[in-house]
A and B are shown apart, each in its own frame.
Chain A
Amino acid sequence: MQWRRLWLALLLVGCATAASGHKPSDSYLTLTVPSSGEVLQGQWDIALRDLDFVLGLDANQDGAITWGELKAARTRIADYAFARLALEAVGRGDRRACIPRLGALLVDEHVDGHYAVLRFSADCGLHPVELAAHYRLLFEVDPTHRGLLQVIGGGTEQAAVLSRDASQVTLNVSAPGRWQQFTAFLSEGIWHILKGYDHILFLLTLLFPAVVRHGAAGWEPRESLRDTTLDVLQVVTAFTVAHSVTLSLAVLGVVHLPARWVECGIALTVLLGALNNLRPVIVRRRWAVAFAFGLVHGFGFASVLADLGLHGTNLALSLLGFNGGVEIGQLLLVLAVLPLAFLARRTVIYRHAFMPAGSAAIVMLAGYWLVTRYMMST
């Protein structure tokens, strides 16, 4: 007895460090809630190895699960799985169970092997405002199993991880109002400008010289606030028009550029903008520069918007909200920087120390971005 019991422990001596070599068991459950109507559409991916363990799919026990064996087990799979998933729709002060009905049985490949794909519809008898899910698949044999739930509806995608200890979830699936949607994208736009160093730095390279003019003796202070304001207005408007154009074109799918080129391009615009402050080449039509470079930044905004996910949302509204947010963020930056720069414009420090040193610092940072972004893309 002693030998036998030790034998097990010994086998496990090294294993704490060799550790689990496979992914643990997960299933993927996707539910789509219609914007109106009472029937949910579902897709449930369950690992064949899991189904085999509980249902014995490998009928001839030859160690290989074939499509024929899987098809033959169709009813048993549906009975087993749907007995372990309770969906309830809540709405109009009522609560009803959604009755699932299996549609197509398909197959898909995930990183850890093949999965049975159960397409189904579930009739709830009322249009859900909230959807409650109680998930119990496989818990009786595998306490570490998890269900990765994804619910598409109400203009968003929501995700939840269901486990033995947290097997229930209730999600709000009512469509948000248009105003809510608009403001959500508006604030994303504002945040993107204020968090995105590259856009801020680019704007700074345009704002630094707005309070001065380049003359024979280098940078000289502008006399009136009117001149300065006009210059800033031109530059910011040009930048705005340009990035709005490319943002719209990219989001509508008219033009598509690889994200890596765009990232490198943005770094390049920052680099060139700062270089122009160090060794001015273009001093008169700075708005043209802002316009040309703004085209590049627009593509950058588009990829952010794409990452936010536009599933089922009103595209025009989201675009408008996000772009509006970007303008507000820009305006905040201008309002924060311009008065200070204007007040400081006559000082020697601003013109002969701050402008060159600040621009040089931006050149270096942008150069670093350019190199790293380029290297990452190759």
Chain B
Amino acid sequence: MTVAGFLAAAVPMALASPYVPAGDSTVLERVAARSELMRLAPLRAAVVTAPADLEAALSLATGYIDLGRRNNDPRFIAYAQATLLPWLARLQPPERVLVLQAITLQYLHQFDAALGLLDRALALEPLDAQAWLTRASLLELRGDYAAARRACARLVRTADAFSALTCLASVAGRNGQLTPSYTALSAPADLDPRLPRALRAWRLAVVAEMAERLGDDRAAEAALRGALRIADDDPYAKAAYADLLLRTGRPRDVLALLAGNEAQDPLLLRLTIAAHRVGSPEGPRWMHAYEARLRAAELDGDSTHQREQALYMLEVRGDPVAALELARRNWAMQREPADLRIYARAAAGAHSAADCAQLAHWIAQAHYEDRALRLTQECELPQGSP
């Protein structure tokens, strides 16, 4: 594509031509995180006035990462990186700076770089529970279960039993021991309300994923509802719940669940799919908005949304061949249940025996179990018996 082609793609990004707004009181933009940002203002000032204050920089970066996570907004992740940058430029960056930077890289899907920083951090401080947990979740995400289990095991000594158990069971549940892991985690008595909310929400998300793979959609739904009660704005739990509703044929419930969440791409996509299925009048508008954001991401050379794009291609555009290409590239990067499901569905839709065989091979050697995969009989994937 020539420069002209690039520009032809760039021009429609502005939806209209520049204008003068109607009046001084016309609201142009809402800053979602205004109050949180104001709370961080003193830390921001502290970092500027005392650049040698490590605690201030770490607290500010942590605050930004948390904002980025809750608002699904990479800008805040970038602000965190900017805060850590002067410390990373040092010859010997502090260990906690390395860990926080690894977390921002994980968020931006730079998994190799993130693991590299975690290794450096753990060489400096082998008892850093956060570094081990981040490392475990990265390795689990990539399907390296043996290494993930070793990282979880380190939590037994560095963190608390609740975290170590959740970590270990989550990995084992994807690696041949789904039923015993689920039994170990699903006792509700475990969920002491005095535990931090984030810990409880994490446990419930893991339980929900396991229940879904065991074919118990009711239990999965109950766990996701529980997670959302604890952290009502958690975009990850919302997307997982929406996926469950879509898989079980309840698109109308998705429209209710995600109403007002159009600003976040993953949730907008699920709204679009649900609207597409029920023929809702909002459908075309959301589809248009999602396509515009896809084009923008493409222009940015951003390939971190391949799973989402594959889902869009398959569900909304009905193009399994394009979906398969995206799902295959995504699978090379990450191997979560959702990555596997979209890959299998696209492979079945595109009748690709080679992709089905590759998936079947992976499932067999990882001893991965997932009853939700039964939907894709065309792909003839092996089923673990729960």
Contacts and interface: CB of A to CB of B under 8 A. Distances in A.
B49 interface: no
A18 B235 contact: yes
Contact of A65 (B10, B19, B27, B85): B27
Contacts of B160: 2
Contacts of B300: 23-24, 26, 146
Contacts of B308: 19
A343 to B, nearest CB: 40
B205 interface: yes
Interface string A1-39: 011011111111111111111111110100000000000
Given A114-B28, A150-B10, A18 B239 contact: yes
Given A19-B266, A22-B263, A111-B13, A65 B72 contact: no
B31 A6 contact: no
A18 B236 contact: yes
A111 to B, nearest CB: 4
B103 A3 contact: no
A22 B72 contact: yes
Contact of A63 (B13, B24, B30): B30
Contacts of B24: 66-68, 71
Interface string B290-324: 00110111011010110110000000000000000
A61 B30 CA distance: 11
A22 B3 contact: no
A64 B23 contact: no
B82 A142 contact: yes
A145 interface: yes
A15 B236 contact: yes
A16 B78 contact: no
Given A28-B13, A309-B8, A21 B266 contact: yes
B256 interface: no
Contacts of A18: 72, 235-236, 239, 266
A223 interface: no
A21 B338 contact: no
Given A5-B130, A143-B78, A309-B8, A12 B106 contact: yes
Interface stretch (B62-70, B273-281, B362-370): B62-70
B78 A19 contact: no
B14 interface: yes
Residue of A21, A140, A156, A308 contacting most chain B CB atoms (<10 Å): A21
A119 B133 CA distance: 49
A41 B329 CA distance: 42
A354 interface: no
A107 B82 contact: no
A307 B17 CA distance: 21
Contact of B129 (A5, A43, A108): A5
A67 B29 CA distance: 9
Interface stretch (A45-53, A270-278, A327-335): A45-53
A227 B37 CA distance: 83
B377 interface: no
A91 B101 CA distance: 44
Interface in A94-122: 106-114, 117, 119
A19 B75 CA distance: 12
Residue of A16, A63, A70 contacting most chain B CB atoms (<10 Å): A16
A61 B163 CA distance: 39
B21 interface: yes
A62 B28 CA distance: 13
A157 interface: yes
B151 to A, nearest CB: 12
Interface stretch (B175-183, B194-202, B346-354): B194-202
Contacts of B266: 18-19, 21
A309 B289 CA distance: 26
A142 B29 contact: no
A58 interface: yes
Nearest to B301: A161
A347 interface: no
Contacts of B297: 23
B14 A109 contact: yes
A107 B202 CA distance: 42
19 contacts: A2-B159, A3-B196, A8-B65, A15-B69, A20-B68, A20-B108, A25-B78, A45-B14, A49-B29, A68-B24, A68-B25, A108-B16, A108-B18, A112-B296, A113-B29, A142-B78, A143-B82, A144-B108, A159-B3
Top 5 A-B pairs, shortest CB-CB distance: A68-B24, A21-B72, A309-B4, A14-B236, A21-B264
Given A65-B29, A111-B295, 12 more contacts: A2-B129, A10-B163, A10-B198, A14-B205, A15-B107, A22-B71, A67-B23, A67-B24, A107-B19, A141-B79, A148-B10, A307-B5
